[in-house]
Amino acid sequence: MSFDSRAFRNALGCFPTGIAVMTAEGPQSHIGITVNSFTSVSLDPPLVLWCIHKGSSRYKAFAEAPGFTVSILGSGHKAVSSRLAGAGEHSLDGIDLIPTELGPPALADSLAIFECARESVQVAGDHAILLGRVLRFAQHDGAGAPLVYFRGKYGALAQGEPPQGLPGRRQTDGE
């Protein structure tokens, strides 16, 4: 029995994810890449991680950078996300940016921004896991809905109350 990589990828796509843009110092200027692999790791110390394909032309720059900036994208960032997602285009020219203390800029109007020092890089299959220690962060209140990725397509998370009283829904301590 052979492993169907395409079917595996499609199954993974059933898990909706948020979208972030990572920025770092590149060989000539700041560079960016779109990811949906961003997640928190620890509150104490404050750690986050994301993954990058080892075959990416941006891999070396991100893996060797002393730090990176994370911009959590809102639904209005679809064009920027698409531009920085594929091979080739990785320049931040023409993108609305704001400076950070760390150096790599953040995307303007991001839902949240995290400035991270590189903690470690772990190779895992055809990707590397970049672990970052959060040095500073900011949140843009009222910035709107997050940009999400589900089954290979962009979408926005609907804002509203979660469903109540559904069969099988468990009460939690906070309710």
Cβ atoms of 122 and 131 within 8 Å: the answer is: yes
d(CA 70, CA 107): 9
pLDDT digits over 111-149, tens only? 999 999 999 999 999 999 999 999 999 998 766 788 999
Domain that holds residue 120: 5-156
Interatomic CA distance for residues 16 and 4, integer angstroms: 21
Within a domain: 105: yes
Residue 60 within a domain? yes
**pLDDT tens sequence across 27-68:** 788 999 999 999 999 999 999 999 999 999 999 999 999 999
**What is the distance between the alpha carbons of residues 60 and 64, in angstroms, rounded to a whole number?**
6
What ranges make up the beta strands (E) of 54-156?
Answer: 67-72, 97-98, 106-107, 112-124, 127-139, 147-150, 153-156
Cα–Cα distance between 148 and 155 in angstroms, integer? 5
Query: Does some domain include residue 171?
Result: no
The tokens 């672990």 sit on which residue? 131
Closest CA to 102 of 71, 136, 62: 136
pTM (predicted TM-score): 0.85
Interval 72-83 mean pLDDT: 92
Specify if 167 maps to a domain: no
pLDDT one-digit tens code per residue, 86-116:
887 688 999 999 999 999 999 999 999 999 9
Give the chain's mean pLDDT. Answer: 87
The domain that holds 64 is classified in CATH as 2.30.110.10
> In this structure, is the dihedral angle defined by the CA atoms of residues 132, 13, 109 and 162, taken in order, positive or negative?
negative
Q: Is residue 116 part of a domain?
A: yes
Pairing of strands 67-72, 20-25: antiparallel
Number of domains in the chain: 1
